Amino acid sequence: MSQTNDAASQVIANNMKPVQVKLVLLGEAAVGKSSLVLRFVNDEFQENKEPTIGAAFLTQKCRLEDKVIKFEIWDTAGQERFHSLAPMYYRNAQAAVVVYDVTKASSLEKAKSWVKELQRQANPNIVIALTGNKVDLVSTGRKGRRTSESDQDEEEEQEAMDLDEDEEDDEDYGISRQVPTEEASAYAQEAGLLFFETSAKNGEGVAEVFTEIAKKIPLEHILSSTRGSRAGGVGGSNGRVDLQNGANGQRLGGQQDKGGCAC
């Protein structure tokens, strides 16, 4: 009986050891990759965040049923001059989040090129999530029609509204959406990708991205093949990697391996 209990305890202990999952973020500059990671890891948002130089490395633990997943996240720079360095970050990655900006159509085209590159050169079993960020910038419609308290003729009222419509477009509609949800979702389905729309600013959909990725990762395979080894990364600290000066361990204002599950 004691041996049975010991065996059961060992199974539980093994299951509670963090499963290390290497995840890379790719996408055009200024689509909000760093902000998504910061929201996931530290649950915060920084206005006017400086562009990533080279890459930033962060970690976050997440409980999924009876497993604990430790995401080792490489947040890559989106500038074209860093493109050739991307393979060193997505090599051996079990997951990738490819980000575009829903208000910028060209960023989706760039995301598609990243997807093709990953499908051609990355781990053949990599889980890819296509993520449309900045949905908070897109207004769902007018804030409300103006009404007249007088008996003004409806035609005259409409005429008056039309005159200043151009001036109020920005206020009423916000920034226009350039990438329809249906279009991006159809592409993701066709390419075999997970699909999400998020707002790093208010947190909408961010946790779901990482939760659904965790569900798709073949954890048992990782446990059997890479137990006790890292999937890539830097000494376990949340920091930045400057490719010109080397790893400098600069903190990103977060907590390493923050307790609790962000998923």
Please check whether residue 38 is in contact with residue 53, taking contact to mean a CB–CB distance below 8 angstroms: no
Check residue 219 and give its pLDDT.
78
Check residue 218 and give its pLDDT.
87
Check residue 6 and give its pLDDT.
56
Check residue 130 and give its pLDDT.
98
pLDDT, tens digit, 9 for 90 and up, residues 164-214: 444 444 444 568 999 999 999 999 999 999 999 999 999 999 999 999 999
Q: Say whether pTM exceeds 0.85.
A: no
**Which residue positions in the chain have pLDDT lower than 50?**
141-156, 158-172, 228, 230-237, 239-260, 262
Check residue 15 and give its pLDDT.
55
Q: Which CATH superfamily is domain 16-138+175-247 in?
A: P-loop containing nucleotide triphosphate hydrolases (3.40.50.300)
Check residue 106 and give its pLDDT.
98
Contacts of 188 (CB under 8 A, 6+ apart): 130, 194, 195
Q: Which amino acid is at 73?
A: I
Q: Is the dihedral of CA 33, 36, 40, 46 positive or negative?
A: positive
Contacts of 121 (CB under 8 A, 6+ apart): 87, 90
